[in-house]
A and B are shown apart, each in its own frame.
Chain A
Amino acid sequence: MSVALSAQDINRALTRISHEIIEKNQGSANIVLLGIPTRGAHLASRISSIIASIEGAEVPTGTLDITLFRDDLRMRPPRAIMPTKIPTTGIEGKDVVLVDDVLFSGRTIRAALDALGEIGRPRTVQLAALVDRGHRELPIKADFVGKNLPTSKNQSVKVLLSEIDGRDEVTIEEEAQ
C-alpha cells in the first residue's frame, strides 16, 4: 500500500479545483455542484464552501445518486439507493459540475448523465474528480482533476475522507489476484 495523496495534498487539490471551476465559468453565479454519493457528495460540499469563501456567495450544492441508472446492475448484488438532493434552484439552464472521488471506467459518469437528463436540461455539464486513475471504457474526460494517478488494472485506489473515514488520504493498494 502506498499513499498517493496526503491530507494536505487533498486540501490543495480541492482549493485548486475550486479556483479552476470559478475561472472556467467566469464566477460562481450560474454554478450548481452535484456530488455523487458517498464520497463525491462530501467532496462537493467541501468545494462548495471553498468557492463560497472565495466568491463570498453560496453555491447551490446537492447530491445525485446514480444507482438506478447503472449498466452493471445485473452483474452485482443490488446496492442501497443513496439520497438525491437537487438544490431548489434546479439545474435548468445551469452550469452543473458533477463531483466524484475517483474517475475510472467512466461508467458512473455515463449513468450520472442519464440521471441528470431525467431531472432537467443544464446549460453545461462539467466533471470534477479528485483522482483520475485512467482505464476509461467510455469517451468521458474530466474538466477538473485533483491528481492523475497512473495505475494498473489490478490495483485499487482508496479515497478516505474525514467525514466518514476519520482522516483524509488517498492510497493505492495491490489487489490480491
Chain B
Amino acid sequence: MKHLLSISNLNKSEAISILDTASELSRVSDGAVKKLPTLRGRTIVNLFAEDSTRTRISFEAAAKRLSADVINFSAKGSSLSKGESLKDTAMTLQAMGADAVVIRHPASGAAQRLADSEWMSGSVVNAGDGTHEHPSQALLDAFTIRKHLGMGGSDLSGLSVAIVGDILHSRVARSNVLLLSMLGAQVTLVAPPTLLPVGIANWPATVSYDFDSVIPHVDVVMMLRVQQERMTDLFFPNAREYSRYFGLNSDRMAQMKSGAIVMHPGPMNRGLEISAEVADSARSVITEQVTNGVSVRMAILYVLLAGGALEVGSN
C-alpha cells in the first residue's frame, strides 16, 4: 500500500491490520518514553489548505513519535494564499525530498490528484478532501468503537451505529459508512432530507428521518458537525428546530442502550448538534477519539512508509 486516499481502496484485512497495528502502537503512547526509531530520517509534510486542529496535530504527534521529521505547511502564511497551484506546491515538496504528504484540501479529489500525478514520488495520505473522504478519521472511529464495544473479534460485526446530522457535507460520514459496514456493523444515517446527498440509496446504510425511533436500538451514536461554512443554501429553518429534531441532548441520551457510547469527530457546535451535558457525560468518548487518533495515524504512517506491501498476519 503506497497511499491512503479513500476507504474504498482498502480491503477488510488491510483495515483490520491497521487497527491491530494501532492497538500495539497505543502501548507506546501509554509508555514512559513515547518515541520509536522506526521512521528516523523520513520527512513527512503536513499540507493543510484548510483549517484543522485535531487532524494536523494528531498527524504531527504520530510522525514525531515514530521519529520522522515533520514540516507543517498551512494555507495561511504560505504561497498557497498567493494563489500557488497544487502542482507547483507538490513539485516544491518533491524537490525538498518529502517521503510522504498528508494533505487536507477543500476540493474533493485533491489527494487522488496528487497521488495520480507525477508531480511527486512520495506517499499521499488523505486527511480530508472537500466533502469526499476522511479515511484516517474513520479508522480512528472504528478503532475507538472496537476498543469499547468489540466482542473480542477483530471486526465490528453485531454492532449498530447511527450517524446523525449533516451527512451531505460530511467526509467523515462517507468514510465511516464504507469502513463500518465493511467491518460488519449496521449503519443507520439520521438526518433531515435536505442534508442527505443524492444517491444515498446506494450507500451500504439505512436512512431514517426520525432520531427518536433510532436511538434506543444502537450501540454507537456518532454526531456530525453542522458545517455552516459549506452551506450555501438554507437546509433547515433555524438552529433551534434542527437542535430539537436532530440534536443529542440529555433526554435523548437517557433513551440510549446501557453501554452505548456517544462520538463526535470534532469540532463540536455545543448547543446545536450536541448539548454540553452530553459532550461532557460519561458516555462520551470524544476526547478518547483524539487520543486514539494518534495511535491510528502512527499505524497508517508505519504501513505506508516502513516498506513495501503490507503483509497481513504473517510473521
Contact = CB atoms under 8 A, between A and B. Distances in A.
A80 B307 contact: no
Contacts of B315: 37-38, 79-80
- Most-contacted residue by chain A among B27, B35, B309, B312 (CB, 10 A): B27
A73 B310 contact: no
Contacts of A80: 17, 20-21, 311-315
Interface in A31-55: 37-38
A174 interface: no
Contact of B33 (A68, A81, A118): A118
Chain A: interface secondary structure? loop
B311 A69 contact: no
B20 to A, nearest CB: 7
A113 to B, nearest CB: 12
Nearest to A164: B315
Interface string A52-92: 00000000000001001100011111111111100000000
A76 to B, nearest CB: 6
B307 A74 contact: yes
A173 interface: no
A68 B38 contact: yes
Given A74-B306, A76-B308, A118 B21 contact: no
A149 interface: no
B29 to A, nearest CB: 13
Interface in B36-55: 36-38
Interface string A92-121: 000000000000000000000010001100
B38 A73 contact: yes
B36 A78 contact: no
Nearest to B306: A78
B24 A69 contact: no
Interface string B8-25: 000000000100110011
Given A68-B38, A118-B33, A118-B35, A78 B27 contact: no
Contacts of B310: 77-78
B279 interface: no
6 contacts: A73-B307, A74-B306, A79-B314, A80-B17, A84-B27, A119-B31
